[in-house]
Amino acid sequence: MSGLGKLRVAVIGAGAAGLCAARHLLSRPDTFAPPVVYEVTKNIGGTWVYEAKVGYYDNGLPIHSSMYRDLRTNIPKEVMSFPDFPFAKHLSSFVHHTEVRKYLEEYCHHFRLWDHIQFGTTVASVTPVRVKNGWNGLAWNVTSNNGLDLSKSTTERFDAVMVCNGHFYDPYIPTIPGLEKFKGTLMHSHDYRSAEPLAGKSVVLLGAGLSGLDIAMELSNVDAKVILSHGQHPLTCPLPSGVQQAPPVTAVLDDGSLEFKDGKRAKPEVFLMCTGYNFTFPFLDEKVGVKVQEHLVWPLYKFLIPPAYPSLFIVGICRAICPFPHFHIQSQFVLSVLDGSFSLPTREEMEKDIELDIAARRARGISTRHILKLDSEQWAYNDQLAQLGGFQPLPRFWSNLYESNKVFRARDMLNYKTYNYTLLGEMEWAVHNLHGQQ
Ligand code: FAD
């Protein structure tokens, strides 16, 4: 604790991660002052706030959400939920995105978060300051603007900052030689909303991640002729009719056709990139030293904490994870660091830990761009944070159902969302309550 009484924590973003951070901070009034949650839009929910239009909001800010109209979740609600707040009972396991937004709004009501969110407020800069009485001799100046109005900026001082600004909004476009020569419609999945505008068209869809596969299925339902171009070629799971596979696009030729790695060519009407997103922290002072390189954000101890400035926390940057439970664990770990129940190692020790961890991942053949993809390792990571921070780990049910769903999805891409785990979830919840773990 700082010598200044209760710790003041700023939270940047009111998406699922920021709400979760606020929920935990508010649960500890002994140690933490009510947080200030800065949110650039007028809504909570981030990714889950569907916008039918693309480009910019009326106030000139870029549209944040990459949600598309018909999206249903790819994780069953039984384990997608925060472990202390289940989705409504009547819903089936794979819910429409509107239900997730409602769920997050209910979470906000239940944990009384609304009053702590400053809507329409953009965090423009986050700067560390050395102070005598601060937590670890450190404090943070957070400067925010009302929308785009730079003349009306205010700066507040905090003991710590939790960065929860999301990482699915700044499209990543891979370097493809000759891309400017493509004459058809070039778009990124960030701007994909529904299949109808592409009905009957020829489409090369680059990237077979979860969004790529989902969108390929939507397009096949409107008779688009889809070539799914990707690096894991060929996928062995059954794909929808009308979807062919191809290796990655390597170049765009002078006549505007796309060339694939195997030398074959196609001249589609639409080139749709489902190639993921960039991490960006435009507000973060350079001296904090957090860098983004080939989709790796580093140096961060436990993928959260820059060793030189250990009262800043970047929450939710890991990929291929079960996001809400992951935020739940990370948020509690942050609290355990700030309240002293977990004593951070020294700066040098944390730097060494990061170095060794990255080296070990590289030695296992993981390229830099995939280091943040935790996948099945997420459970050991979560358990470790819970153990270090001295709080309840996730019940095994979370990893069991999440991992099973992954297997079913890979085997049965076309139908896995029709499976239903609601009874299983209710049983788990009953056991959970019986043990008083709520
Ligand atoms: P976000 O939801 O992106 O929220 C970040 C918030 O920060 C936003 O509200 C934004 O406006 C605000 N913000 C950003 N910068 C600033 C700033 N400078 N100042 C103030 N506010 C700022 N996850 C699942 O669990 N299940 C799924 O089925 C699933 N499907 C997905 C489908 C798609 C198409 C996408 C894109 C993602 C999906 N995800 C899914 C992942 C999803 O993004 C996470 O579940 C989660 O919503 C991420 O929450 P977040 O708070 O980290 O980020």
pLDDT in tens, the chain (438 residues): 445 589 999 999 999 999 999 999 999 999 999 999 999 999 999 999 999 999 999 888 899 999 999 999 999 999 999 999 999 999 999 999 999 999 999 999 999 999 999 999 999 999 999 999 899 999 999 999 986 666 779 999 999 999 999 999 999 999 999 999 999 999 999 999 999 999 999 999 999 999 999 999 999 999 999 999 999 878 888 898 889 999 999 999 999 999 999 999 999 999 999 999 999 999 999 999 999 999 999 999 999 999 999 999 999 999 999 999 999 999 999 999 999 999 999 999 999 999 999 999 999 999 999 999 999 999 999 999 999 999 999 999 999 999 999 999 999 989 999 999 988 888 888 877 776 554
Work out the widest C-alpha separation in the chain, in whole angstroms. Answer: 68
Residue 167 alpha carbon to ligand 1 centre in Å? 7
Residue indicated by tokens 């649960």? 27
Compute the radius of gyration of the chain from its Cα atoms: 22
Residue 71 alpha carbon to ligand 1 centre in Å? 14
Residue 217 alpha carbon to ligand 1 centre in Å? 23
pLDDT of residue 36: 98
Cite the DSSP H helix spans in 111-186: none
Residue 114 alpha carbon to ligand 1 centre in Å? 18
User: What's the one-letter identity of residue 419?
Assistant: Y
Cite the DSSP H helix spans in 279-395: 323-338, 347-363, 378-389
Reported ipTM:
0.99
C-alpha 94/C-alpha 335 separation (Å) is: 32
Give the atom of ligand 1 at the shortest distance from the alpha carbon of 66: 36
CB atoms within 10 A of CB 365: 7
The C-alpha angle with vertex 304 and arms to 303 and 306, in degrees rounded to 5, equals 105
C-alpha 130/C-alpha 133 separation (Å) is: 9
Pocket probe for ligand 1: among 126, 149, 168, 272, the residue whose CB has the most ligand atoms within 8 Å is: 168
pLDDT of residue 247: 96
**220 CB-near residues (< 8 Å, 6+ apart):** 226, 240, 241, 242, 243
Residue 40 alpha carbon to ligand 1 centre in Å? 13
pLDDT of residue 430: 80
Protein residue with least CA distance to atom 28, ligand 1: 73
- Which DSSP string corresponds to 274-301? ---B----TTB-GGG--EEETTEEES-B
Pocket probe for ligand 1: among 12, 37, 47, the residue whose CB has the most ligand atoms within 8 Å is: 47
Whether 341 and 389 have beta carbons less than 8 Å apart is answered as: yes
Q: Which residues, judged by CB distance below 6 Å to any ligand atom, belong to the binding site of ligand 1?
A: 12-18, 38-41, 46-48, 64, 66-67, 71, 73-75, 80, 122-123, 164-166, 168, 211, 283, 316, 323-324
Tell me which residue of 388, 401, 363, 412 sits closest to 78, measured CA to CA. Answer: 401
User: What's the distance, CA 15 to chain centroid?
Assistant: 9
Protein residue with least CA distance to atom 30, ligand 1: 73
Residue 134 alpha carbon to ligand 1 centre in Å? 31
pLDDT of residue 147: 67
pLDDT of residue 319: 97
pLDDT of residue 438: 44
Residue 81 alpha carbon to ligand 1 centre in Å? 14
Give the atom of ligand 1 at the shortest distance from the alpha carbon of 282: 18
Give the atom of ligand 1 at the shortest distance from the alpha carbon of 144: 19
Tokens of 115: 């009053």
Protein residue with least CA distance to atom 22, ligand 1: 13
CB atoms within 10 A of CB 110: 11
Residue 265 alpha carbon to ligand 1 centre in Å? 36
Residue 67 alpha carbon to ligand 1 centre in Å? 10
Tokens of 46: 């981030």
Q: What is the pTM of this model?
A: 0.96
Whether 52 and 134 have beta carbons less than 8 Å apart is answered as: no
CB atoms within 10 A of CB 222: 15
